[in-house]
Structure 1
Amino acid sequence: MSLQIQMLGTGSAFAKTFYNTSALIRSNEMNILIDCGATTPRSLHEIGVQPDQIDGIIISHIHADHVGGLEEIAFRLLYQYKNKKTKLFLTESLAGVLWENTLKGGMYNPADGFSRLEDYFEVILIEENVPTSIQPGLTIEFISTLHIPHKLNYSLFINGRTFYSADTQFNEELLVQEIVNKRNCHTILHDCQLSGNGFIHATLEELLTLPDYVQERVYLMHYDDDMMNFVGKTGSMTFIHQHEVIEIPE
């Protein structure tokens, strides 16, 4: 089975041009979302994918640019598609804070029987650091990475050899030793803050310190609206663009 990943958005939390960073893992048999920011439903509409065609949603962390579109997806599945539930893949720890700290305010409706995350989604809890088959031909592994101190945050290995950072601070040891030297990942999709200090994201300046053999595997995402000013200044790394599609070997 041929798998592809299509970027629904490639922008930072504050980007307006490129939408919030999220992606769609696609094949003839499945559509699996990675995160669902506020702009994700609009981007899905632009590529002709409706909520009832989504087979599952993977959640990396609870910042609004990664989960702000979940309420719309859930309500559309409930009201437009007759209470169809899609799968929601996340860790047990993340499931609690996603509902209590993010979704409950708008979606809590006990009078009609909606008082839990499970009332809207088929919640599938995934263990950290355990490769888990979530669809035939698709394995996901959640690994904890540092984004904001003391807040849950995960990056992903997709079928063992594609790394998707979601949001994370720069971690040279993880990128060089674990992702490339040990796992031999052929593709790295990494968030990139183009300028300024990297308090919560890897910066372009930091990523440019990576060896060329690592940079050659890196697609840069989660960037600001001034991305065009940095074209040709990314070493051996490549910007990935909204709606661009790349292959993911099984």
Structure 2
Amino acid sequence: MSLHIQMVGTGSAFAKTLYNTSALLINEYGKILIDCGASVPKALHELNIQPDQLDGIVISHIHADHVAGLEEIAFRLLYQYNNKRIKLFITEPLAEILWEHTLKGSMHNLAEGFTGLTDYFDVTFLAENTPAKLLPGLVIEPIRTLHIQDKISYSFFINNKTFYSADVRFNEQLLLQVVHERGCHTILHDCQLTGHGAVHATLAELLTLPADVQQRIYLMHYDDTMPQYIGQTGRMRFIQQHQIIALDA
């Protein structure tokens, strides 16, 4: 059984040419989308993937570059695709925040009976630090990681061999554990190219990692100046928009 990840977008929240960072996990049983920022519906369209072709969406946290596209996906499933429902994989505390503080203002419609996430999606709750089967051959484990102080945010282990950071501050100890204790062969990590790493790991910080960790890292969630940094990432590589890499299933 083969599992691949394809980057829908690789850009930071403020990137204009790369689309919001999001990825498809693809095997012979389906397609699962990780995060759905404002530009993701357009990016999916460019890949010739329509909302009804998704089997589910996983949400890491509620910043707009990770969830603002959910409204379009939900309304298109409802009105264009005859109320087709797909799964929304999310932890229970994050689901409440997502609805009450992000989506409710535009998607709440008491007259038509739309009063929560479960009226648009088949919501499947994930538990922290607990592997969950999303598809045959695809298991995801959410772990709480630090992005914004006092804001819930998750990174993911995929099939226990790939680490997907979503958005996270630099944490050397975590990355050493990911490699040396969890045995992950692939890491997809957000990367702020310049400045102080207040809410993201910076390239300068990631370059301090040991070579055996760096060589497993694909950099994502970067800004539009990325081409200027090619060749300056140590043993790490930039993963490009639409690029597909194979993951051990």
Q: State TM-score, norm by structure 2.
A: 0.99
Q: Please give the secondary structure, in 2, of the residue aligned with 1:157.
A: strand
Q: Give aligned-pair identity as a percent.
A: 65
Matched, 1:139 2:143: no
Q: Please give the secondary structure, in 2, of the residue aligned with 1:118.
A: helix
How far residue 119 of structure 1 moved from its aligned partner, in angstroms, is 0.2
Q: Please list every run of 5 or more consecutive structure 2 residues that lacks an aligned counterpart in the other structure.
A: none
What residue identity is the alignment partner of 2:150?
H
2:169 maps to which residue?
169
1:205 maps to which residue?
204
Map 1:28-107 to 2 at 5 A: 28-107=28-107
The whole-number CA distance in structure 1 between the counterparts of 2:93 and 2:7 is: 27
The whole-number CA distance in structure 2 between the counterparts of 1:53 and 1:132 is: 21
1:17 maps to which residue?
17
Cα distance per residue 1:134-173 (max 9 Å; x no partner): 1110000000000000000000000001000000000000
Cα distance per residue 1:6-37 (max 9 Å; x no partner): 00000000001110000000123201000001
Q: Please give the secondary structure, in 1, of the residue aligned with 2:106.
A: helix
The whole-number CA distance in structure 1 between the counterparts of 2:248 and 2:44 is: 23
Cα distance per residue 1:122-143 (max 9 Å; x no partner): 0000100001111110000000
Cα distance per residue 1:160-196 (max 9 Å; x no partner): 01000000000000001x2000011010000000000
2:217 maps to which residue?
218
The whole-number CA distance in structure 2 between the counterparts of 1:117 and 1:131 is: 23
Aligned residues: 249
Q: Please give the secondary structure, in 2, of the residue aligned with 1:8.
A: strand
The whole-number CA distance in structure 2 between the counterparts of 1:248 and 1:77 is: 29
How far residue 248 of structure 1 moved from its aligned partner, in angstroms, is 1.1
The whole-number CA distance in structure 2 between the counterparts of 1:16 and 1:156 is: 26
Q: 8 Å contact 2:38–2:67 — kept in the other structure?
A: yes
The whole-number CA distance in structure 1 between the counterparts of 2:29 and 2:154 is: 26
The whole-number CA distance in structure 2 between the counterparts of 1:184 and 1:212 is: 15
The whole-number CA distance in structure 2 between the counterparts of 1:27 and 1:243 is: 16
What residue identity is the alignment partner of 1:115?
T
Q: Please give the secondary structure, in 2, of the residue aligned with 1:89.
A: strand
Q: Please give the secondary structure, in 1, of the residue aligned with 2:139.
A: strand
CA root-mean-square deviation: 0.5
Cα distance per residue 1:14-62 (max 9 Å; x no partner): 0011100000001232010000011111111111111001000000000
Q: Please list every run of 5 or more consecutive structure 1 residues that lacks an aligned counterpart in the other structure.
A: none
Q: State TM-score, norm by structure 1.
A: 0.99
The whole-number CA distance in structure 1 between the counterparts of 2:197 and 2:167 is: 11
The whole-number CA distance in structure 2 between the counterparts of 1:135 and 1:96 is: 24
The whole-number CA distance in structure 1 between the counterparts of 2:48 and 2:248 is: 24
